[in-house]
Amino acid sequence: MTQQNSVTIPALPTPLRWQSDPQHWELAADGTLSITAGRLTDWFIDPDKGTTTASAPALLMPVHEPCMFKALVSADHAATYDAGVLTVYQSDQVWAKLCLELSPQGQVMVVSVVTKSVSDDCNSLIVDGHSAYLRVAKLDRAYTFHYSPDGIRWHLIRYFTLGDSPDVEIGFLAQSPTGEGCTASFSEIVYLPEKLHNIRSGD
């Protein structure tokens, strides 16, 4: 599909923009988004070495108020750290991502990374198969990441802040930090312009 500066997805309230170009992307008639990342692409600021990688393609939209954003995320996991991702972006130095990622042990895992000048990386749980429901909730000053096996009952993965700025972008990302490329797909996309009031209830 020809690259565009702005992308409209029917389930989302505003157009999205690209942060780094994908190798390929497509929006199907049913609203499923697919993004192909090229080789050796990632978002990561190594806390030990200090090296920054910011090459993974992300499709982002601005949000200002509390909201929830979720999708069924799938990826063609081939190489270590290949992932489909939901992300929150404030700046090149301040962002977070919730990943469905292939571990070095060859297991698909839910992984979260919160970055404020350096990346804080946490592996959470193993997932059967190559798909899972992921959700980002923007609160007043904080965010939550959740995982669900069925899109109904949600498990808290991470509760964090990126600072006081109410203006961020949320969206989709694909990465292939050690591989030749990875295609991630995002279906059943839902945006809810409301605040998640109980982050641990499973709702």
Structure tokens given for 72: 């069924």
Residue 58 belongs to a domain: yes
Residue 203 belongs to a domain: no
pLDDT at 4 exceeding the cut of 50: yes
Domain that holds residue 106: 9-192
* 186 in Cβ contact with 133 (< 8 Å): no
Residue 43 belongs to a domain: yes
Residue 5 is predicted with a pLDDT of 78
Residue 202 belongs to a domain: no
Assessment of whether the complete model's pTM goes beyond 0.85: yes
Residue 144 belongs to a domain: yes
Residue 201 belongs to a domain: no
Residue 167 is predicted with a pLDDT of 85
Total domain count, the chain: 1
**pLDDT tens by residue, 66-108:** 999 999 999 999 999 999 999 999 999 999 999 999 999 999 9
Residue 108's CATH number = 2.60.120.200
Residue 19 is predicted with a pLDDT of 96
| pLDDT mean across residues, the chain | 96
Nearest to 74 by CA among 28, 142, 10, 113: 28
Residue 27 is predicted with a pLDDT of 97
Give CA separation, 202 vs 13, 14, 128, 153, 154, in Å. 25, 28, 20, 5, 4
* 163 in Cβ contact with 145 (< 8 Å): no
Nearest to 11 by CA among 59, 58, 56, 43: 59
3-state helix, strand, coil in the chain (%, to 5): 0, 55, 45
**pLDDT tens by residue, 158-175:** 999 999 887 899 999 999
Residue 161 belongs to a domain: yes
Residue 3 belongs to a domain: no
